[in-house]
Amino acid sequence: MRTPLIVSAAALVAVVGPALPAAAAAPTPSPGAATVTKAGTSFLTATAITAGQPVRVGASTGDYLYWSFTASAGQVHRVSATVSFPKARGGPSVWSVDVFDGLRRRQACTTGAQTPLVDATATSVELGCTLREVRSWADPWSADPLPGTYYVRLAVAELPEADLGLPVDVDLLVSTASDAGSAADDGELQAPLTADNRAGAVLTGEPTPAPVPESDGAGWLPGLGSRWAWTTAGGILAAVAGVVGFGLTRRPRRP
Amino acid sequence: MINKRRSTAVLLGLLAATALAGPPPASADETTEPAAEPPKVELVLDVSGSMRARDIDGRSRISVAQQAFNEVVDALPEETELGIRVLGATYRGKDKKQGCLDTQQIVPVGPVDRTQAKAAVATLRPTGFTPVGLALRSAAQDLGTGTTARRIVLITDGEDTCAPPDPCDVARELAARGTRLVVDTLGLAPDAKVRRQLLCIAGATGGTYTAAESAEELTGRIKQLVDRAKDTYTATPTVVDGTAGCVDAPLLSPGVYTDREEFSTHRWYRVPVRPGQELRASVSIALDRPVRPDHGVLLRATTGDGRELVRGVDAGSGRTDVISAGLRWSDAEGSPAPKPSEGTLVEPDIVCLVVSNSFAPRAGTEARPGMPVELTVGVVDASPAPAGPGLGRGWLLLAVLTVAGLLTGLVAGLLTRWWVATWREN
C-alpha cells in the first residue's frame, strides 16, 4: 500500500514540478539591481541589460526600443513588458515584442502575449515572450537558440496614425525562467553569437594562404567531461550490485 | 604499450587544456576603440510666426521652447558638443524667396558657453517663414563630416512653407551621404500635416518623432535625445559599396558595414574564410520610406561559382523599422577533398554574400537613393559537431547498470551453485 502511494506522489511531483515556475506570479527583478532608464534605437545601439535588471523608460508611441542581454546554454529567458499610456488615444493599437539572436535572426516565443491588441480606453498593456532553451551547440544550418547576445525590440505594430508621437511609459524585465546548465560534451560553440559591432575594414589585397591549424588529435577519445564520471560511477555500482547479487544466491550458513 | 602511453598523454593534455582554457574570451564590445570625436548635436528651432500661438498650458510655443532649451543647456553632459540653429527668426517681410533663406546658427557646434547660449535663445522672437529643408541642410553642414554619428533635433510647430526642396527628400539625401546623420523631430502641438512631414523626416534618417504638448514633455524628450547622442554616437559602420556580381565584390573583414540597396536589386560582398573557421553574417534593411505592407529580406552565402551554401531569410507585414536575417556557415567536416596535412599553406575559401530584398514601393515612392543596409560580418573558429560520445550520463544510466550488475551477479551465483552441486554429485 505504502509503495504505490509513494510512487504516485513522486509521479505527481514529477508532473507538477516543471509546471510550477510557469504558473508562478509575475517575475520580479533581482534584489539590488539598478533600474535602467535608457533604450537604444537600433541593433547597434541597443542598451545592454542583464537578466533580473528592471528597465523603466519614457518613450514616444512609434519609437522602436532595443535592449540586449546575454544568455548561456541551458537557460530559458522570459521577457515581460508593460506599456502604460498616460494620454487618451484615438483608437485600438497592437504592440509587439520581438526577440532576435546575436545574428539578428528572429526567435520564436514559446508562450506569452507577444503581439497584444489594446483598446483605445485601456491605460496599459502587458507583453510577454518566453524563449526556447538555449542549446550549447547547433548545426550552422539550423536556427536553434545559441549562447550569446539576444536583442529585444519593443514597438507598436498597428495604430491610428494620429496616435504616433504620444508619450508612453515602458517597463521591461528580462528574467531567467529556468537554468538547466549544460555539459560541455554535448558539443560546444567556440565563440558565442555576439555581434562584432566594430566598424569593418574593406580588404584591398587578396588574402594570403595560411598554414592549416593543428588538430587536437585523439578524435576517438571523448573529451574530459561529466560523462566520464557518470559512466565510471555506473561501472562501480554495477560491480557492487554484481557482488551483492552473487552473495544473495549463496546458501545461508548453518550455524 | 605505446597506445596506452599515448592515451595517458592525451588525457593529461586534455586535462591541462581544460584547466588553461579558463573563462571565455571577452566580447567584442569591450575592444571598441575610444572615439576621437566628442558627440555632436544640433538643435534646430522653428521661430516662424506661428510660434506666437499661446496654446501650450496657456503659454506661447516660443516661450515653452525657450524654457526647454535653457534646461537642456543646463543639464548638458560635459563632453557633448551642442549647436543651436534657428529658422524664420529675422525676416519680417512678405517676400517668400527672401524669407525662405532665413536660417542662422546662433550657437556654433562646440563646447557650450552656457550663459552665452541662454542669452542667444532668450532674444528669439517669432517672425518669418519655415524653411525646414534649408535649415536641415545647413545644420548638416554645421555638424561637419567625420566617422561618428551626428544628431539633429528638429523642433517645429508648422509644416514647411518653402518647398521645394521637400524637407523629407532633403533628410533622405543627407542620410545617404557618407556621414551618419540622425534627425529626431519634435512637433509642438502638431496638426496632421506637420505630423506626417515630421514622421517622414524621422523615418528617412532612422530618427524618432514626438508630439510635445507640454513644456515638461518637450524638455524631457530633448534631454533624452541629447543623452542618447552621447551613448550611441560611436556606433557607426563603415560605408561599403556592394556590387552586382560576386567576382568584383568588395572583400570584407569582420565588422559592421553599411550600404544602400534599391528595390529588387542585389548587393554582393566577399568574405575570406579559412579552413576551420566559421562565417557569421547578418543583414538589416531599414524601411526609410513608405512601402507596401508585406516585405522580406534574403541573405545568401554562395561559393565563388554561385552554388548556394546557406541562406538566412525573414519576412514581415506592417509597420517596422528594419527587417533582418542572419546566417552561419562553416566548411563541413569530411568534405570530399583530401584534408591537407598540418602545416601546409592553404588558400582561404572566398564566400560570396548576396543581399536581396522583396519590398514593393508605393505609388510615388522614390527609388533612389536605395534603402539603408546594415551588414555585420564575423569570422570565428568553427564549432565541430560533437562526436557520438561513447559514454553515458544520468541517473537512468546508473540504474540500468546497477540492475544489470545485480542480475549478472544473481545469474552467476545461481550458475555457480548449480555447477558446484552437479560437480559434487559426480
CA nearest to B182, candidates B132, B232, B218, B133: B232
**pLDDT digit string (tens) for A195-224?**
778 888 888 877 777 776 655 544 556 666
Strand, coil or helix: B215: helix
Give the residue carrying C-alpha cell 532649451.
B69
As a whole number of angstroms, the distance between CA B167 and CA B35 comes to 31
Distance CA B183, CA B139 (A): 10
Partnered with residue A46 across adjacent β-strands are: none
Share of chain A above pLDDT 90, in %: 55
Whole-number Å distance between alpha carbons of A205 and B263: 31
Q: How far is A25 from chain B (nearest CA, A)?
A: 32
Residue B230 contacts A, CB cutoff 8 Å: no
Top residue of B221, B280, B308, B403 to mutate, by most chain A CBs within 10 Å, is B280
Query: B383–A187: do the CB atoms touch at under 8 Å?
Result: yes
- Using a CB-CB distance cutoff of 8 angstroms, which residues of chain A are in contact with residue B318? 157-158
The model carries a pTM of: 0.83
Of A32-41, A161-170, B326-335, B389-398, the least confident: B326-335
Instruction: Give pLDDT, residue B281.
Output: 94
Q: Where are the alpha helices (DSSP H) in B123-214?
A: 132-143, 167-175, 192-205
Check residue A139 and give its pLDDT.
87
Sort strands B81-87 and B277-286 into parallel, antiparallel or unpaired: unpaired
- A33 contacts chain B (CB < 8 A): no
Q: How far apart are CA A179 and CA A156, in angstroms?
A: 31
Tally of CB atoms within 10 A around B247: 10
Q: Which chain A residues in 113-172 lie under 8 Å from chain B, judged by CB atoms? A: 137, 139-141, 149, 155-158, 161-162, 164-167
Which residues are CB-neighbours of B182 under 8 A, at least 6 positions away? B149, B150, B151, B152, B205, B206, B207
> Best residue in B270, B410, B417 to probe A by mutation, most A CBs within 10 Å?
B410
Q: List the one residue out of B43, B47, B44, B85 whose CA is nearest residue B63.
A: B47
Phi–psi pair at B307, nearest 5 degrees = -75, 130
Identify the pLDDT of residue A183: 59
pLDDT digits (tens, 9 = 90+) for A104-145: 999 999 999 999 999 999 999 999 999 999 988 888 888 899
Instruction: Identify whether the C-beta of residue B170 lies closer than 8 Å to the C-beta of residue B140.
Output: no
B40-232 fold: Rossmann fold (3.40.50)
Cα–Cα distance, B260 to B267 (Å, whole number): 9
Q: Tell me, what DSSP letter sits at residue B59?
A: B
Sheet holding B266-273, edge to edge: A202-203, B251-252, B266-273, B349-357, B294-302, B308-317
CA–CA separation, A170 vs A63, rounded Å? 11
Domain spanning B238-332+346-381 has what CATH number?
A: 2.60.120.380
Give the pLDDT score at A17: 41
Nearest Cβ partner of A62 from B209, B312, B412?
A: B209
Kindly report the length of chain B: 426
Domain ranges in chain B are 40-232, 238-332+346-381
Query: CA-based Rg of chain A, rounded to a whole angstrom?
Result: 26
Contact assessment for residue A133 and residue A74, using Cβ atoms and an 8 Å cutoff: yes
**Strand B238-239's sheet: what is its strand order?**
B238-239, B255-261, B371-381, B277-286, B322-330
Q: Measuring CA to CA, which residue among B254, B248, B280 is closest to residue B267? A: B248
- C-alpha B362/C-alpha B360 separation (Å) is 7
B342: burial class by Cβ within 10 Å (0-12, 13-18, 19+)?
exposed
Strand order in A167-179's β-sheet?
A54-60, A167-179, A75-84, A124-131, A109-111
Q: How does DSSP classify residue B247?
A: T
User: How many CB atoms are located within 10 Å of the residue B6 CB?
Assistant: 13
Please indicate if any CB of chain A lies within 8 Å of the CB of B187: yes
Report the sign of the C-alpha dihedral through residues B249, B254, B259, B262, in that order: positive
Residue A41, chain B, CB below 8 Å: the answer is yes
Q: Identify the band that residue A249 occupies on the pLDDT scale cut at 50, 70 and 90.
A: confident
CA B185 to chain A, closest CA, distance in angstroms equals 10
Judge contact between B154 and B184, C-beta under 8 A. Answer: yes
Residue A29: is the preceding peptide bond cis (ω within 30°)?
no
The one-character DSSP state at A163 is G
A chain contacts of residue B417, beta-carbon cutoff 8 Å: 249-251
Residue B22 has a pLDDT of 37
Residue A135 to chain B, least CA–CA distance (Å): 13
- In this complex, do B391 and A239 lie within 8 Å of one another by their Cβ atoms? no
B114-122 vs B61-74: helix crossing angle, rounded to 10: 180
Average pLDDT, chain A: 83
Task: Report the interhelical angle of B61-74 vs B215-232 (nearest 10°).
Answer: 40
Subunit contact B29:A48, Cβ cutoff 8 A: yes
User: Is residue A28 within 8 angstroms of chain B, CB to CB?
Assistant: no
* A184, pLDDT greater than 60: no
- What value, to the nearest 5°, has the Cα angle with vertex B307 and ends B306 and B311? 100
Q: Rounded to a whole number, what is the distance in Å from the CA of B303 to chain A's nearest CA?
A: 16
CB pairs under 8 A between A and B: 326
How do the pLDDT tens digits run along chain B, 426 residues long?
444 444 444 444 433 443 434 333 333 344 445 557 889 999 999 998 888 888 888 888 999 999 999 999 988 888 899 999 998 888 887 887 888 888 899 989 989 888 999 999 999 888 888 899 999 999 999 998 888 889 999 999 887 888 788 898 899 888 888 778 999 999 988 888 899 999 999 999 989 999 988 888 899 999 999 988 888 877 788 889 999 999 999 999 999 999 999 998 999 999 999 888 899 999 999 998 889 999 999 999 999 888 999 999 999 998 999 999 999 998 875 444 455 566 677 778 889 999 999 999 988 888 888 899 999 999 998 888 776 567 888 889 999 999 999 999 999 999 998 998 898 887
Only one residue has cell 541662454, namely B118
Q: Strands (DSSP E) along chain A, which ranges? A: 47-48, 54-60, 65-71, 75-84, 93-101, 109-111, 117-118, 124-131, 148-158, 167-179, 202-203, 210-211
* Residue B120 to residue B138: CA distance in whole angstroms: 19
Can you give the pLDDT at residue B398? 93
Q: Round the CA-based radius of gyration of chain B to a whole number and report it.
A: 33
Nearest CA in chain A to B300: A141
A236 touches chain B (CB under 8 A): no
Task: Kindly list the structural domains of chain A, giving each domain's residue range(s) and its CATH number in brackets, ordered by start.
Answer: 40-182 (2.60.120)
The SS3 assignment for B193 reads helix
Within 8 A of A250 by CB-CB distance, chain B residues are 413, 417
